[in-house]
Amino acid sequence: MATPQKMENPNMTKALSDTILSKYINNLASEIKTAITKVKQINPEIEVMGIGIGAPNGNYYSGTIEYPPNLPFVGVVNFTSLIEKKFPEFKHIKLTNDANAAALGEMIYGGGKGMKNFAMMTLGTGLGSGLIVNGDLVYGADGFAGECGHTTVVPDGRVCGCGGLGHLEAYCSATGIKRTVYELLAKYNDSKSPLANIPYNEMTSKIVFDAAEKGDPIAKEVFQITGELLGRSLADTVHYLSPEAIFLFGGAAAAGDYIFKPAKASMERHLLPVFRNKVKILPSKLKESTAAIVGSSALIWKELEKN
């Protein structure tokens, strides 16, 4: 799950938030109705069983979106109950965080098929995670479990987006990769690296990947460092949960061997002997463009399994 921070927009009042929310729900309901109609036109036999929602700071238990950092809503929004009012015909309207939804997607449609225990790490702007234990998503006591991005990997290290220090997300997300680029440029004062010609605000994981492909030592070291830290953190994941596999998803994971190789080597080095050579680090089989959709849909499949 990605960061459930209480970092809402300070310029947003409750009244304005309610107005925006009301319009948003109306538009969303209209879009959903259109989508259902289209699906039925393609094949009238398709039965729509429910509505699955993947949302930042989404709480599965309560159906609420709580203090979302990047949405124009204030406080705790009872999101599923608003959707339920628009679609009283559906028994299953469920919401969870985007990374949790992605983990369910991986389990039902992706590389996690048949696995009862695995972890999903989404390496995007932030670092989200979804944990599957005994075939179920871990929601924890309050519905917000699976925040591996905010575990500490470098005590008193970089400032994380959440305000904490040294979190995994501050090092091993796409943003973390960018930060490491400039740390290394500063360290080596390397003017020959192609990365030295790009402004901070324009740097992407893709640019670093391309530079690594051309042999740039800075770019290669960036991935090496990122993989090292990620691998140590994944060893912690294994010590907690002993998963069958850990899936990496998202832009930063697209760097392939540049990140998978050092991550695997570092994870193995940091594992207790009993866990070594057991746990796979795999690229997600979900497509970047459709993961959110299949993940939300998987949320409803999971409900149908329970009933």
Residues within the interface to a copy of itself (CB under 8 A): 3-7, 57, 66-67, 115-117, 131, 133-134, 136, 138-155, 162, 164, 232, 235-237, 239-244, 270, 272-275, 278-279
- Rounded to 5°, the CA angle 299-301-303 comes to 70
Q: How far is the CB of 138 from a copy of itself (least distance, A)?
A: 6
Q: How far is the CB of 165 from a copy of itself (least distance, A)?
A: 8
Q: How far is the CB of 197 from a copy of itself (least distance, A)?
A: 32
Q: Between helices 205-213 and 174-188, what is the axis angle to 10°?
A: 50
Q: How far is the CB of 248 from a copy of itself (least distance, A)?
A: 17
Give 200 or 240: the residue with its C-beta nearer to a copy of itself.
240
CA–CA separation, 288 and 305 (whole Å): 26
Q: How far is the CB of 74 from a copy of itself (least distance, A)?
A: 15
Give 27 or 70: the residue with its C-beta nearer to a copy of itself.
70
Give 144 or 209: the residue with its C-beta nearer to a copy of itself.
144
Give 103 or 235: the residue with its C-beta nearer to a copy of itself.
235
Q: How far is the CB of 157 from a copy of itself (least distance, A)?
A: 9
Give 15 or 141: the residue with its C-beta nearer to a copy of itself.
141
Q: How far is the CB of 52 from a copy of itself (least distance, A)?
A: 20
**Tokens encoding 61:** 């238990």
Give 1 or 291: the residue with its C-beta nearer to a copy of itself.
1
CA–CA separation, 67 and 8 (whole Å): 6
Burial status of residue 76 (CB atoms within 10 A of its CB: 0-12, 13-18, 19 or more): middle
CA–CA separation, 22 and 15 (whole Å): 11
Give 211 or 235: the residue with its C-beta nearer to a copy of itself.
235
CA–CA separation, 14 and 20 (whole Å): 10
